Amino acid sequence: MSRTLRVAALVVTLCAAPRLGRAASVVFAGDPVDPSNGVPYEILPGFPLVLSGPDGVVGTPDDVINTATIGDIDMVVRSGSVAAADVIPPPTAASPRSAWPVGVAGSSGSGGVEIPFTVFLSDGATSLGAPFGHLLTASDMDGIPAIVAVFADFDGDGFIGPTNADASGSSDSSREVGELEPVGRAVAVFNGGVARGSVAIRSGGPASRGGLKVALTALALTGPFDASFFGGNIPSGPAISTALPFYPERDLSKLIRDRPVPALPNSTLQQVIRFASLPHADAVRPLALRLDGSSPTIDVAIANAQPAVRVAFREYLEAGRLALLGTSGPASYVRCHLIPVDRWGNWADPPPGFTVSLHAAAPLQVLRPRHRGESVTLRSSSGVRVVARVAAGSSDGAEGVLSAEHSGVVVGSLRYQVSAGATRALADVVVPSIDAPTIQAAIANVTDRNHDGRLVVAVRAGIYRENVLVNRSVELRGDDAATTFVQGDGTSSVLSVTAPDVVIRGLTAIGGTSGFALSGPSTQLVASRAWRNQATGVSVASSAVLVWQSAAVENGADGFTFNGANAASCTDSAALDNGGGGVVVSNAQNAQIERNRVAGNATGGLTMTTTTDSTVTDNQSVDNFGPGIQIGGGEAGAGGVASGRPAGSPQNNQLTNNLSGGNDGDGLNMDSTNGNLVSGNALDLNKGYGLFLRRSTDDDFSATPGVQGPLGDNTAEDNRRGDFFIRTN
Amino acid sequence: MMQQRCKSLVLTVALLMAATAPLRAGTTEPRLALMRATAVRSTSGRITLTLEGSFSFGDTVQLALPLNVLVTQGEVAASFDLAGDPPTGLGQAAPDAGVISIGERAITLVLPSQFAAGEATAQIVATFDGKPLASNRLRFTL
């Protein structure tokens, strides 16, 4: 049995074994059970029983829905520290029981005020006198952790999650996807059917606008703690929960990347509540949470931002985001709002007399506010409108910063880069439209209506549920990867490119077996994202493919793979928190892997096997669970899992100026390599060796003339097993 | 006298760094790593530094982890806390300096005026479960 298969089998065993034939908590009394194993079904309260189909994912078209079986109330959460009583009290949003608890964003160590909560187990026996059931003092739940997750209503429509029931209808559903990520989570432990605690949150709104409404939800795995299930650290029984704005991911192996630890109020907690698939905004029974008190199992609170200490360019809020500006036309403008924000990045009220001045490095010119370089007072949370433009005739590739200064220091900045490619060609067709209701229809039917020699399909912000085959040389141009989603059905890649010279911009691919499968030569993937796909995020298997300013995040296997992709490049991109490696290059020549951020990946950061004449430079590979950078076969046991890859003989590659630090394996692991240049790399604080070199010949560890041995001009400090180790066999 | 004070402060910070280095965050502890630094200079020369990395943001929020960012440049060393208070370790007040932004993958801080163009390092240190933890030490150019 291969190592991979053994690991997979172990995970399956861990997940399945404890669920067979074990006693259920009394909280499930009277609930429907799976006849195949006697274990109670997991059903959201008030929703029908939904079982995943062949794709194994709940919330996708192949689900099996049993409308005759409806989930009852097993647990509720209330904001505030509420006294235990036989009849579970209503949410604050629905009664005058008390004012809504108000928090201030941030941790208590940084000026925040936490929101108290109380979680009750319910017997589900609802009546007019007890519409939320009665307190269930289930002793077998004593000591079980309840996880409270808080979601924020960022668009203020009174719902959490995508919905067409709000005033904006379907026009903003994709923007509401951002509400599905918790803004805070905490743990409390059940005792006598009640768990109390408080939750810190990172989001708030300007107090002058009533703050930010947030929803408190809760989830718990029922007991017991079986030693064979994640080391006995996590209860192994079925989950119970309040209403949630999505069907939750239930494959714990996807949620727990680190070694599991008991969930306690003062322990670290991993990402244990996240969606299995994007919920439908127009479902018959929408999952979006109502915040008007009508959702019986959840509650609400208000969170205010802290006082503003800096400013942000609202349309470019994502940290480190680069504005790509064209050399002419609309794309050469920055049009945004400069808003006051608090230390946590929340939209906030400015303190009195909060003035800023704008400064732009050439070739960007500030057009508005008109008195550029002079102070502009931010009088309210609305901020001021900013317009800037790239000067005519600016060269491709020019870079600079638009900055805002307050009291002589920069309190907000936006990096920009001028790119001829960002100058947008006119669209030949827009999705959705009568001519093109789907992306696939647009690809099939687009013609060069404006006679510019290009086929351009503009995709408006939205959620598109389709698997797309790009078999014509078109440009797919989404509004923005943060708001333009293509959700696959889990049976194939979300976007499969087979034609040459395809350009994909500004799209997020989610929910497929892989996100982007790029097998057409000279494809460009720009400013796009592969997010939470079952296997690889971006799979490249053709020559001269360019990946730029894109990201692979939280996919089930590797983030980016380049297999047989000669002259491919992956630059200025990010591979974060994927279930395999971050960037994996194999069987390739002349690849360029430059300026990428690679962090939190389960089996390692950057991996190269059987790769020649390639450049790996200026990358940062940190905090991965295997080696930071691995070239060749790998050492068994050094952070480990990546060593299962087949050994190759990478030759004549240049590995320069990379940072590989804080990884669980080696900083740089080289096995069976030959004639590579390894220079200027920083290999610090890894749990394995800084540099591990094995069965390698003629590698040069310095940029100076002549072949030098390790460490040469590389640095290695504070590595747990040692800063370097060399073996000949 | 001033130089001696600076040296002793640098020594103190260095000892703190040395003490924390072998105890880098383990698999069940908050994960701390720095990967990239970007400096922006104001018209008056003051430097705003953005550090990108990975530092268990969710736990930082809920557990109020006492994270500190240590920035050193030659004999100048400053320790920033996430509450935004003026940095310590300089021997003189730096009221305009401090952490101005905490995000999921980035921390932004305004450096005291003692920092100038040139090489510098940054490191995150924290205390968890009674133990000191530290990130890798990031080298960069201001």
Q: If pLDDT is split at 50, 70 and 90, which confidence band does A405 have?
A: very high
* Chain B interface includes A148 (CB < 8 A): no
* Chain B interface includes A178 (CB < 8 A): no
Pairing of strands A289-290, A399-406: unpaired
Amino acid at A21: G
Instruction: Summarize pLDDT for B98-109 with one digit per residue, the tens.
Output: 999 998 889 999
Position A17 pLDDT exceeds 70 = no
Neighbours of A167 (CB within 10 A): 10
- Which of B136, B44, B17, B20 has its CA nearest to residue A660? B136
Question: What's the burial of A247, exposed, middle or buried (CB within 10 Å: 0-12/13-18/19+)?
Answer: buried
Go through B98-109 and write b for each residue having 16 or more CB atoms within 10 A of its CB, e for each that does not.
Answer: bbbbbbebbbbb
CA atoms of A495 and A24, how far apart (whole Å): 42
Mean pLDDT along residues A293-311? 94
A47, A52, A53, A57: CA torsion to nearest 10? 120
**Which residues have a Cβ under 8 Å from the Cβ of A496 and sit 6 or more positions away?**
A467, A468, A469, A470, A517, A519
Residue of B nearest to A659 (CA): B35
The SS3 call for residue A22 is: coil
Instruction: Summarize pLDDT for A641-689 with one digit per residue, the tens.
Output: 343 334 457 889 999 999 999 899 999 999 988 899 999 999 988 999 9
Mean pLDDT along residues A524-543? 96
Provide the shortest C-alpha distance from residue A327 to chain B (in Å). Answer: 24
The SS3 call for residue A369 is: coil
Position A398 pLDDT exceeds 80 = yes
Amino acid at A702: S
Which of B27, B50, B61, B137 to mutate: most A Cβ within 10 Å? Answer: B61
Q: Scanning the structure block, which residue is given the tokens 């470019």?
A: A316
Which of A657, A683, A684 to mutate: most B Cβ within 10 Å? Answer: A684
pLDDT for B27 equals 43
CA atoms of B66 and B133, how far apart (whole Å): 10
Q: If pLDDT is split at 50, 70 and 90, which confidence band does A97 have?
A: low
pLDDT for A15 equals 38
Instruction: Summarize pLDDT for A462-498 with one digit per residue, the tens.
Output: 999 999 999 999 999 998 898 999 999 888 999 999 9
Mean pLDDT along residues A253-266? 78
Provide the shortest C-alpha distance from residue A23 to chain B (in Å). Answer: 30
Mean pLDDT along residues A614-631? 94
Pairing of strands A475-478, A516-518: unpaired
Neighbours of B44 (CB within 10 A): 11
Provide the shortest C-alpha distance from residue B70 to chain A (in Å). Answer: 16
Q: Scanning the structure block, which residue is given the tokens 């509004």?
A: A479
Contact residues on chain B for A662, CB-CB shorter than 8 A: 24-25, 31-34, 54, 135-136
Phi, psi of B122 (to 5 degrees): -140, 150
Decide if the complex's ipTM is over 0.95. no
Instruction: Summarize pLDDT for A569-590 with one digit per residue, the tens.
Output: 999 999 999 999 999 999 889 9
User: For the whole model, what pTM was predicted?
Assistant: 0.89
Q: Are B105 and A320 within 8 A, CB to CB?
A: yes
Helices (H), B31-140: 57-62
Position A383 pLDDT exceeds 70 = yes
Q: Which of A93-107, A171-185, A268-282, A437-451 has the lowest mean pLDDT?
A: A93-107
pLDDT for B24 equals 36
**CA terminus-to-terminus distance, chain B:** 27
Q: How many residues can be counted in chain A?
A: 729
Q: Scanning the structure block, which residue is given the tokens 């989950």?
A: A239
- Which of A725, A663, A644, A727 has its CA nearest to residue A692? A725
The SS3 call for residue A171 is: helix
Long-range contacts of range A353-358, CB-CB < 8 Å, 24 or more positions apart? A353/A377, A354/A308, A354/A378, A354/A406, A355/A406, A356/A311, A356/A404, A356/A405, A356/A406, A356/A411, A356/A412, A357/A404, A357/A405, A357/A406, A358/A386, A358/A402, A358/A403, A358/A404, A358/A405
Mean pLDDT along residues A339-352? 94
Position B20 pLDDT exceeds 50 = no
Q: Which of A25-39, A148-162, A702-716, B27-41 has the lowest mean pLDDT?
A: B27-41
Position A374 pLDDT exceeds 80 = no
Question: What's the burial of A60, exposed, middle or buried (CB within 10 Å: 0-12/13-18/19+)?
Answer: buried
Which of B27, B40, B48, B62 to mutate: most A Cβ within 10 Å? Answer: B62
Phi, psi of A196 (to 5 degrees): -120, 145
